[in-house]
Amino acid sequence: MSLIEKAAAKLKKNESLVERAAKKLKDVSATEGDKSVSVNENSSMTSLETKRLNEKTKPVATMARVKLDLKVLQQKNILTSDDVENSMTTEEFRIIKRSLLLRAFSKGEAAIKNGNIVLVTSTQPDEGKTFCAVSLALSMAQERDLTVLLVDADVAKPDVLHTLGVKGSKGLIDVIENKDMDLSECLIRTNIPNLTILPAGKKHKLTTELLASERMGEIIDEIARRYHDRIIIIDAPPVLASSAASVLALHVGQILFVVEAERTREEELNDAFKMIDKCKNINLLLNKARFAGGKKKFGSYYGYGYN
C-alpha cells in the first residue's frame, strides 16, 4: 500500500461521529433504493466477501420528525412564532437572547471558546430552568440566520420532550455509550424550521461518568466547531442536585443560571457558583418575579456577567 493510500485509509478510520452523521443524512435519498454491492468481473473480491459486505449494509437511519402543538405551548406560557409581537414573554426572551448571541459569535479578543454552547441550570429543581431553556431555544429559532439544537441533559429528570408535548426514545446518553451510533439516529426535527431536539435518552447509573467521558467532550466540541451558525442550548440538571451540571460546565462557553424569586437563597447560589466556576461567563436570570404594575414593561430581571 502506497503512502497516499495509507493516509487516506487513516483519515477514513478517524472520521468523526458528526461527519458520519452528516454523510448519512446527505446520502439518504441515494441509499433508499438498491443497497446491494455490485462487483466488477475483474474484481478480486470473492463471493463470500461480497455476501458479508451486503449483510453489513443497512438502511440509513433518517432523522425523526415531530410536530409541536403551538396552541398547547401558548397555554403553558411558552412563546411561539404565533405569539403577539409585543407580548411580555416574547420581549423578555428577546432581551435575554441578544446578549447571549453577541457573545456566542464574538470575534478577536472578545471570542469565547464554545461560546455558542449555552448551559441552562439552577440551584435546585422546580425553579423553572426547563421552561427557560425551551423558551430561549424557541426565541433563538426565530432568528433568520441561525439554527438551534436543544439538548436535554437532565437524564435523571428529563422534561424537555414533556414540556414540548412530544415523544422520543434514543438520545444523548445512548450516543455517548454506543460508539457505533450516529448522532442522526437520536436527533428530532420539529415543524419549527430552525429547531432540532436531542433527547436525554435512557437513564443510566453512570450518567455523570458518561457525561465526563472523553467521548462526550469530543461530541460537544465538534458540534460547536462544525456548525458555526448553530446555537446549542443544554438543559442541565440543577447544580446542587446533581454533579452532572459541574461536569457539563467544562464544555460550554456560557451559562444561563435561573434563580427563582423569593426562594433561592444566597448561600445556595454561592455554593452552586463554586461548582461551575470553570465557566467564566455566567448569566443570571431571575424567574417567577412578581409584577407590581406601574411603568415596568417586563416581569423578569436579567443580570449579565457574573465572574
Q: CATH number of the domain that 184 lies in?
A: 3.40.50.300
Interval 224-277: pLDDT, tens:
776 667 899 999 999 999 888 999 998 899 999 999 998 999 999 999 999 999
Residue 269: what pLDDT?
94
Report the C-alpha gap between 243 and 248 in whole angstroms.
9
User: Same domain, yes or no, for 42 and 100?
Assistant: no
Interval 4-35: pLDDT, tens:
565 556 555 555 555 565 555 555 444 444 44
Average confidence (pLDDT) over 284-296 = 74
Q: How many domains does the chain have?
A: 2
Band of pLDDT at residue 46, cut at 50, 70 and 90: low
User: Same domain, yes or no, for 51 and 130?
Assistant: no
User: Same domain, yes or no, for 159 and 253?
Assistant: yes
User: Same domain, yes or no, for 106 and 252?
Assistant: yes
Residue 277: what pLDDT?
92
Last residue of a domain, one of 15, 37, 56: 56
Task: Decide if 240 contacts 271 (C-beta within 8 A).
Answer: yes
Residue 301: what pLDDT?
42
Interval 161-191: pLDDT, tens:
999 998 888 888 988 888 888 888 889 999 9
C-alpha distances in angstroms, 89 versus 86, 131, 145, 148, 281?
9, 11, 22, 19, 24
User: Same domain, yes or no, for 104 and 233?
Assistant: yes
User: Same domain, yes or no, for 214 and 109?
Assistant: yes
Report the C-alpha gap between 25 and 268 in whole angstroms.
45
User: Same domain, yes or no, for 50 and 80?
Assistant: no
User: Same domain, yes or no, for 25 and 148?
Assistant: no
User: Same domain, yes or no, for 141 and 286?
Assistant: yes
Task: Please give the residue range of the domain that contains residue 110.
Answer: 64-306
User: Same domain, yes or no, for 21 and 81?
Assistant: no
User: Same domain, yes or no, for 81 and 183?
Assistant: yes
Q: Residue 162: how many CB atoms within 10 A of its CB?
A: 12
Average confidence (pLDDT) over 125-134 = 94
